[in-house]
Structure 1
């Protein structure tokens, strides 16, 4: 840096480079790996590199396409230090990423990972995070419709909070974070700038210290969802009046990050006077103004003749707007404070000059087979009653998932389904990962995460369209940790490629490490898919059809990464994945939309036993047979239980693509009966509900 500048950096430059060249902003350890992802496709409009990716839903009648914007981010360290504000501001930040693309936010997903549910501190974090997400999302009127919750010993000292947002726009309203022309004004719109969130980007690029909850509190932003709601509506009017040339959310590294990246992308520079920024606290210096991560703020590139109108609109929504500078054609990012230069550096060097890390890595070990002895009934109670597979109703009942009146299939199903009336299509959304899988077998488990999310979408009759990922790992300077991280990158890339899904955006969060050790490598995925209409088969049995299992392979059951082994101990190889995943997903989606299909539910966490338990109601049960107790807990991805009145049609659809196995018949007595080799069990819907209520019972 000093060599490039030709002088010693100023205090503000040192702090700006520290933040922009941090792992959180520059992806110094992960960027060399991210080329593994397929990011292009015929429907991709904006690939990775902007605030969010954008994909088109083609119109069926030849009219203008509808665009879907997708983004995802992590707020892991802030959520450990302050679970409520850390999670809440994560929601606010990802929503603004969608706004900056010219899109209106229509849905949120949250994928949450904590230490053992049985322990007090993880439960405290869990409750605070869910409260923060619900408070912010409900207040701004964006429904949280999908996600996941997982508990694992290795998140004890470092939880993960991964939040994604989906928005809708079109070609006329699409905006990017690429400055367009020299001489345009830079206008900061939103709340006042304060000292909260100082150094947030660098804080997110370090291991959590033992005293993080007290010492790092100033690095956590404090959000105001009511200001965010006003900003959403203000942004809409700015777009309606075609006033925005480019835009960027103020997130990591605050104004310095947003404005320098905006002009660098357009091969331009900027002249900024920091004292013109509207401030909440007196006496702030230039460095504080530059790097504050105060929330609910966006920077817009505006043509000079439109500046007054932007100010009028901001005032209408009780927001402040400050003209802080303008774009230049010299490529220099120049900031002054009270007339004195505090930053003068090449904009592209600020954004792209960080040296990449060439780190050593060790390939993950393959697990050995060490299966525990168990009886069917004990294993069923342990797995179905696990917090990982238990009902998450306690979580999603706190979210307003019906606001905006788009939600056709609500949380609690394989995937949510939203009505995209602009395109007369349904949009399916699935989100999550399984740390049991990626802890046991990082590459295979991450590849399975791609297939699992695609299966969730297909089970609702939709065809996968695009995805965004949040790649979470520990300290990359440790060769074994970096080896695990590299494996999940390669595995998730291959898993998405298997089902022909481009990854159009994402986030990387490393240094998720604490005195308790590193987290499991965790590749969270949020995937969308489309279908004609807004109807989807139920995940609960009707009691009137034949129950069949479709998909998977003919391999013997394998329990690597299963909830059974997490509960009872042991290890095993990871289950084999289907060879023709793309055809499999297409066929599952087609069969889900058969008139003869009464119910569908994918087989994943906990295996077939949990899937069937979740399908049983007080009015409908099932009488099924599997070859062995192991088969009841095999979590091989790419399998779906289908209740159908025409099993022959299902078998014909999958001919030459994947196995179809008859499990038995649905019943009207609300009892689940399983025959597994020489073992058997029978439980009614009430017993199942009691087992699955462990989270609600404890909170």
Structure 2
């Protein structure tokens, strides 16, 4: 065994470290000079690989951390600071905490959609149960190009099957999410996976190494060659060469992960676990270096002891492999047999491969050879990894998009005013109901197990946010508590106005949580953007992060952590900037407060909006303008965060008072689509009159996407009480009409503008995605 002052030597089969080799590892000349400065010598190939993955954007956040630190990251209910642990941790009372996080698996899914999506689900679950929390629910946020494209249909099919295949087998319900289709995502789909878990306060495990002399174990699956340089692959643009990088996509095994979950929770119960971290991006490299740095200790790894499922693996390959279902565990010395017994019971590997040492260096041995010796602080986020402040330039395209004149688009023709050059408003509504972004996602979520473990109170379908029962908890009114959860973002809004779009992403997520009966608590985020080295992209990123921060501060929903995914580009350009928000909220009584978006017959429909609301809005940035006219133009909708808060407060008060039969926010497609969806879900008609909007275009009244609006269905006897609550909270409740019959009739300005059978609206809504995917169903 080499002496403590020994220097790693190149292996005979390793190539010479040349500028080309350095470039192939994704390091700039300046970064390579930093490596030389840290080591004081030329790195071995293994060490170069370590710095390559640890300083990749995916692991180091080198182009984003400075801006991320501007987000609100503190709150009285937070039990872990943002980024300190594998996931966020929020106190929900009764001695319980909820752990939750969202991450991307965009690049792997673009190359191998099934495994890319599947391992995204598996990875985010491990982030939850590594902390000691049992996963109770999954959500996702998916974005694809047009379903007219065969390649897109292939991606949709593979991603959905991957999510279902892993999640269903693992045994955690997929309770919600969103699916968006837009040409902006044609060559670069977005696959964001979110997981939520529960844990007793004080029973969590930290991803921290400590205790000199404590043994270090690798547990779970054996290590293979899948996923090598996956972190680096996720930190570059997708191109024609991406297909050749298929080996960078990991391969998942949900049945092994289920065993690993139970074994991990059992191991934690022994009290012998000192620290634990999932082996996600960069595998052993990341977990060993991050845990060492966080604990202020060193670590020695005997790499040849790692269980391997392929022959002839090199130290480089083992260190950088991203094989799934593996953990690194620091065990209390003298209690090794307890941990080994637990994992043996679950038929999983538990092999000591290292030991905690004094100092700050991670030393990697291959048999008797020292192959890497690196200072852990030089590798990690917030330590010695490079931090950049990129150039920012307002994109020139905004001059064109914000100069959009709605007058260039013909307004709609009401059916009772005779035919004209513009389409009839009823036809426009039917066309929008068939937009894949608006249409029912039943084809997607019916491939998921949404109710396994029997905690799902409101799952995918007629609900604005999912609601999960929190067994063993009691709310203020004596009922069982629940958790409302939602993923949300309108990338088109962010594209047209990054700051306001970032605000709306948070506001709409909160609005949806409120509609389901929840009080917003905190958010996690998955920030999907293009190449940060392009000044226009970095300006979008900076503005969007600023907008998210504005909204999170206004709603007192701190950011618990998340993920940044840059380089979401293809040869045709970047995606829409898409800062996906994952939000959780507390439902005080799941039986009394959980509200769906299905309007019952015989109810009165009220529109809750700000008291001073005068923003009738226009057609700019709307799904109507995009789907019917092919334009992503104008400005993002108006939003006043203080006004938005009044709508949330009024709605939540009405729900908790027991007055609300259904609640649905006005979003994609505007008021007319909101009403149509509520009628379809509730299998009823409605007769309504739109609020007065003097001088507004008909298409804007029907399909404009002005924010801060929620439609409530209430019993006739509750109208006065809800109206009074709205006023009390600084909002207003405007009577729209009543539900009943089998037709949706909308009047505006005293004239009927829509008169359609609900079944005729339901047909395109129900069949749009199955028809496109080749599997039609009957509405």
Match of 1:422 in 2: 472
Alignment of 1:659-678 (within 5 A): 659-677=731-749, 678=751
* Contact 1:53 1:505 survives alignment (8 Å): yes
Which structure 1 residue ranges, 4+ long, deviate > 4 Å from structure 2? 656-659
2:169 aligned with 1:99: no
2:601 aligned with 1:601: no
Match of 1:577 in 2: 639
Could you say what secondary structure the match of 1:686 adopts? helix
Match of 1:654 in 2: 726
Deviates more, 1:312-321 or 1:661-670: 661-670
2:446 aligned with 1:397: yes
Alignment of 1:412-491 (within 5 A): 412=461, 413-424=463-474, 425-491=481-547
**Residues 578 and 656 of structure 1: CA distance in aligned 2, closer, same or farther (over 3 Å):** farther
Of 683, 691, 696, 2:756 maps to 683
* Contact 1:440 1:560 survives alignment (8 Å): no
Alignment of 1:39-54 (within 5 A): 39-49=73-83, 50-54=85-89
The number of equivalent residue pairs is 693
* Contact 1:40 1:47 survives alignment (8 Å): yes
Match of 1:363 in 2: 394
Could you say what secondary structure the match of 1:300 adopts? strand
Of 235, 240, 248, 2:269 maps to 240
* Contact 1:83 1:129 survives alignment (8 Å): yes
Of 536, 539, 542, 2:597 maps to 539
**C-alpha deviation, 1:619, in angstroms:** 4.3
1:285-342: CA deviation from partner (whole Å, max 9, x where unpaired): 1111111000000111101222112111111111111101011121111111111111
Of 708, 713, 735, 1:643 maps to 713
Alignment of 1:129-528 (within 5 A): 129-213=159-243, 215-351=244-380, 352-364=383-395, 365=398, 367-371=402-406, 372-375=409-412, 376-412=425-461, 413-424=463-474, 425-528=481-584
Match of 1:548 in 2: 606
**C-alpha deviation, 1:660, in angstroms:** 2.8
* Contact 2:433 2:765 survives alignment (8 Å): yes
Deviates more, 1:355-364 or 1:8-17: 355-364
Could you say what secondary structure the match of 2:379 adopts? helix
Match of 1:15 in 2: 49
* Contact 2:607 2:736 survives alignment (8 Å): no
Distance in 2 (CA, whole Å) between partners of 1:170 and 1:656 is 37
**C-alpha deviation, 1:604, in angstroms:** 1.0
Larger radius of gyration: 2
Distance in 2 (CA, whole Å) between partners of 1:172 and 1:657 is 37
Distance in 2 (CA, whole Å) between partners of 1:120 and 1:111 is 21
* Contact 1:476 1:482 survives alignment (8 Å): yes
Distance in 1 (CA, whole Å) between partners of 2:755 and 2:276 is 59
**C-alpha deviation, 1:263, in angstroms:** 1.1
* Contact 2:219 2:343 survives alignment (8 Å): yes
**C-alpha deviation, 1:658, in angstroms:** 4.8
Match of 2:701 in 1: 631
Distance in 2 (CA, whole Å) between partners of 1:667 and 1:527 is 31
* Contact 1:500 1:582 survives alignment (8 Å): no
2:90 aligned with 1:55: yes
State the TM-score, normalized to the length of structure 2: 0.87
Distance in 2 (CA, whole Å) between partners of 1:559 and 1:488 is 22
**C-alpha deviation, 1:538, in angstroms:** 2.7
1:46-77: CA deviation from partner (whole Å, max 9, x where unpaired): 12222111010023xxxxx2010011110000
Distance in 2 (CA, whole Å) between partners of 1:47 and 1:396 is 33
* Contact 1:40 1:502 survives alignment (8 Å): yes
**C-alpha deviation, 1:487, in angstroms:** 1.5
Distance in 2 (CA, whole Å) between partners of 1:15 and 1:142 is 35
2:636 aligned with 1:562: no
Distance in 2 (CA, whole Å) between partners of 1:345 and 1:383 is 57
State the TM-score, normalized to the length of structure 1: 0.97
* Contact 1:433 1:522 survives alignment (8 Å): yes
Distance in 1 (CA, whole Å) between partners of 2:459 and 2:389 is 44
1:509-540: CA deviation from partner (whole Å, max 9, x where unpaired): 00111112111100111100012221312311
Distance in 1 (CA, whole Å) between partners of 2:299 and 2:489 is 41
**Residues 636 and 588 of structure 1: CA distance in aligned 2, closer, same or farther (over 3 Å):** same
5+ residue gaps, structure 2, are 1-34, 413-424, 475-480, 693-697, 774-779
* Contact 1:537 1:593 survives alignment (8 Å): no
Could you say what secondary structure the match of 1:187 adopts? strand
* Contact 2:646 2:730 survives alignment (8 Å): no
* Contact 1:384 1:609 survives alignment (8 Å): no
5+ residue gaps, structure 1, are 60-64
Of 651, 656, 676, 1:613 maps to 676
Match of 1:62 in 2: none
Could you say what secondary structure the match of 2:590 adopts? coil
Distance in 2 (CA, whole Å) between partners of 1:36 and 1:622 is 46
* Contact 1:470 1:507 survives alignment (8 Å): yes
Distance in 1 (CA, whole Å) between partners of 2:216 and 2:742 is 63
**Residues 591 and 211 of structure 1: CA distance in aligned 2, closer, same or farther (over 3 Å):** same
Distance in 1 (CA, whole Å) between partners of 2:635 and 2:529 is 22
* Contact 1:194 1:292 survives alignment (8 Å): yes
**C-alpha deviation, 1:379, in angstroms:** 2.4
Distance in 1 (CA, whole Å) between partners of 2:169 and 2:540 is 38
* Contact 1:56 1:66 survives alignment (8 Å): yes
Distance in 1 (CA, whole Å) between partners of 2:641 and 2:351 is 56
1:538-575: CA deviation from partner (whole Å, max 9, x where unpaired): 31111222111112532232333210111224533322
Distance in 2 (CA, whole Å) between partners of 1:419 and 1:467 is 19
Could you say what secondary structure the match of 1:457 adopts? helix
Match of 1:80 in 2: 110
**C-alpha deviation, 1:592, in angstroms:** 2.1
**C-alpha deviation, 1:661, in angstroms:** 4.7
* Contact 1:548 1:660 survives alignment (8 Å): no
